[in-house]
Structure 1
């Protein structure tokens, strides 16, 4: 198996488990606490944040972005080449869809059911911009400060918190957003609502990229020859 194939497999598996954590914990929380929305959010946020920490720690030696926005920023920073970035992004979207299907099946639901949960409004879109920009700041800021081993905990902690302080409950990930369109559960998002969420995430990604470049001007982007070495240090989000 080639390096790119191994990395794509890691992204597929990691994104699948991330979506299973988000969707599955949402279903479990809604069944255990059907009359307490706040408790449902607490249960789901803890489960998703904890899963992120575990997934990044386990898959970071191979590849652990699990997010097309993160991979695009890595491309613009010179950490991966275009071919690698495209391969990883395809794997992330495929993994997300697989994770949503598996989560549905685990809880006795149809494998694919389009979500009826509409999520729209300037407040939610602003929440996605902020959530995505903040996620990139956490990931690349921690990396560029030389604390690679702490990224998993930083990302898990941030996502757990962002469930609460962002109006959108912090999707911050196009692959996860698309995956959530095929589950008609509390974690779902209606297909008609997804494009605006993804646009907001792209805007947040651009903001996060420029923020990282402004905050860390003395740390050069990795060049193509260094990309292979960077593969073993890649992380989420």
Structure 2
């Protein structure tokens, strides 16, 4: 009996996280659009849970910049105007180039192998049109290049920015059809990192800025 209660407690603790992941995917895949309300009562009914874990899940999404909680109005999906996208990508370039510069001297064969495995998963997701995995695997690949820097706080901030730009990445990939370009640039970035080549830093900056410029850019890459 005691063991059953313990397992149940763990499940309850994980429920807000599971709900947050489910709602995040619905936002990222466009089911909930910019400015749409997310009604706690409706979500609670859909997932057959109480409003408490829904409220906690929405707080987590607010911390990730995907919704804003307003008094008496509930949660509203945040908008992604062009100027916000530009600012987020500028922040990415600033922070990710800095952390990569710190990571390069510490790059080892094991780091290269880990990055290669994630890149293979990402490319498989492209080929299989497994859209829900694109953004997450894209971030995991970039993260694998930054881990040798041993800068967990910076990495956490960068992850939050990447979660917000996930929506833009998916739209770009679908609109621009730049998957082959993204693959080529990811492979080159990994090659430079594996060689500890300082050129990787400027290459990463260009990679991010090209993505920021969007599908109309002649050099646009969809998944930076």
TM-score normalised to structure 2 length = 0.34
Q: Which has the higher contact order (CA 8 A, sep 6+)?
A: 1
TM-score normalised to structure 1 length = 0.33
Which structure dedicates a bigger proportion of its chain to strand? 2
Which is higher, the Rg of structure 1 or of structure 2?
A: 2
